[in-house]
Structure 1
């Protein structure tokens, strides 16, 4: 194939080019939500074309007052692999992000075992960051080894919620798990009044620990648990509090909990959880301030 390549921002009319790609992905959610992605202010999709044929697609989503860009949704036509198309496309996207006046950080989150993607991210100059383990608590009746206690006190005011978050800039996770699958560097740009208002905060009786739980949807609905320490099983009432929230949101499929490698190692029995392979965050600061 004569490599005369073009990168362009996708529009609703490009759905047919996307559907013509042989990605090997059955029931691809990007195809299902394509129109929303290409018409949203917070998402952008780009295609790499040879003539009118799409070879790769990728994009980014904006978070944290549109200051943080997460790369993703990379797909390539399997008929034209190992030709550097993914690197070419992502490099063009990153170049555009560097010229944006509002972007402070850009990155990508991928399975730690996805070596091709990790090689591409390394070539693009993104720094390797923290590893996260995503577990979904679905069978609480099998929980063992945890310290039982009473449910922690809810926190209601935005002022108290923000104060609690400001105290965990350095934490065991090494990130701020904004949503399921979307960890970011800790930054107060994420702590909007709306985000804090939509999040349930619970503080331990000794005021030394707190939990944030926010309902999130990633195909299924989850109680997304954000806890910034590795002592889940040692803290009296931790799991009682998590399960109390789930009980108040019975439509959720389970409690999604982000664990650091040490926190994961401290789990005495994985039976209660659905366990994913670990993920690793890559990123770079475009600018640290305005």
Structure 2
């Protein structure tokens, strides 16, 4: 018999016993966090044995990112992952504040892409999480850009560059979303650093994140990352400031497309792991599918 339940703290032994083949799986390390607050984790049991897990996290009240899709290797090929993903998707949209749900998976993970696509989600964008400690190959000696401190000016920039176009905004490392003003709460805008070039035609946003390591997350909504004087001097300046504060392993993270990767100089120092594919579905489309 097949059953699906929302997992709680005391279900950890079932998760620990999953034979996923994933070495040092972070889901097992942070299980207690994934079953509380804005997180949900569900388990599919076959005859009392946990065979698959999946869940979601709510961001800014209106975005749900699905993930943590894991299956026991001994039970693959039975459609359990697809069924469980469907359950998690429905549960996310049962929260009436959720306007959009998505999933982010690496380009090489074909099996996960099939599960996501079977549930009606479409591919929005494919991005490299480009990581480096050294931007010297991109610096030109130009002066850094000018800080933006006025809150309304920050609102104007995100409205112009992201919200009007619906362009994907990397809210956190690994978590990009199609932009709406829900992503740009005043508390965040106050905390994030904004910089604009002298003629006020370009803006850079930098913010901090921690996913095991510390990151300066540099957000730049144009494709001319190698031709804007002062852009990388600005990023580098913020990076060294953050590195001094953390005193630990700290990196620059920038989400860039495959096309932008092709424009990087041959001596660039970015690590470029397998790119991530963002899939998603908005509430209107979801409701059409389930009617």
Provide TM-score, normalisation by structure 2: 0.92
Instruction: Supply the RMSD in Å over aligned alpha carbons.
Output: 1.8
Counterparts of 1:29 and 1:117, CA distance in 2 = 17
**Partner of residue 226, structure 2:** 233
1:198 shift after superposition: 1.9
* Of 113, 125, 129, the match for 1:130: 125
**Partner of residue 67, structure 1:** 62
Counterparts of 1:129 and 1:207, CA distance in 2 = 29
Counterparts of 2:160 and 2:68, CA distance in 1 = 34
Q: 1:172 to 1:270 in 2, by over 3 A?
A: farther
In the alignment, does 2:197 pair up with 1:200?
A: no
Q: 1:174 to 1:196 in 2, by over 3 A?
A: same
Task: Name the count of aligned residue pairs.
Answer: 281
SS of corresponding position for 1:176:
strand
In the alignment, does 2:7 pair up with 1:10?
A: yes
**Partner of residue 94, structure 2:** 99
SS of corresponding position for 2:102:
strand
Q: For 1:37-56, list aligned pairs within 5 A.
A: 37-40=34-37, 42-56=38-52
**Partner of residue 288, structure 2:** none
* Of 117, 121, 128, the match for 2:116: 121
Q: 1:267 to 1:171 in 2, by over 3 A?
A: farther
Q: Deviations over 1:158-215 (max 9, x none)?
A: 2111111111137999411111010100111010012112211111111010110110
Judge conservation of contact 2:166–2:179 (CA < 8 Å) in 1. Answer: no
* Of 176, 182, 188, the match for 2:169: 176
In the alignment, does 2:82 pair up with 1:87?
A: yes
In the alignment, does 2:72 pair up with 1:77?
A: yes
Judge conservation of contact 2:213–2:251 (CA < 8 Å) in 1. Answer: no
**Partner of residue 248, structure 1:** 241
Judge conservation of contact 1:103–1:287 (CA < 8 Å) in 2. Answer: no
Q: 1:199 to 1:105 in 2, by over 3 A?
A: same
**Partner of residue 206, structure 2:** 213
1:260 shift after superposition: 2.2
SS of corresponding position for 1:45:
strand
Counterparts of 1:8 and 1:222, CA distance in 2 = 35
Judge conservation of contact 1:172–1:229 (CA < 8 Å) in 2. Answer: no
**Partner of residue 53, structure 2:** 57
Gaps of at least 5 residues in structure 1 are: none
Provide TM-score, normalisation by structure 1: 0.92
More moved, 90-99 vs 178-187:
90-99
In the alignment, does 2:262 pair up with 1:269?
A: no
* Of 147, 156, 159, the match for 2:149: 156
Q: 1:172 to 1:187 in 2, by over 3 A?
A: closer
Q: 1:173 to 1:151 in 2, by over 3 A?
A: farther
Q: Deviations over 1:21-41 (max 9, x none)?
A: 11112222111111122122x
Judge conservation of contact 1:130–1:174 (CA < 8 Å) in 2. Answer: no
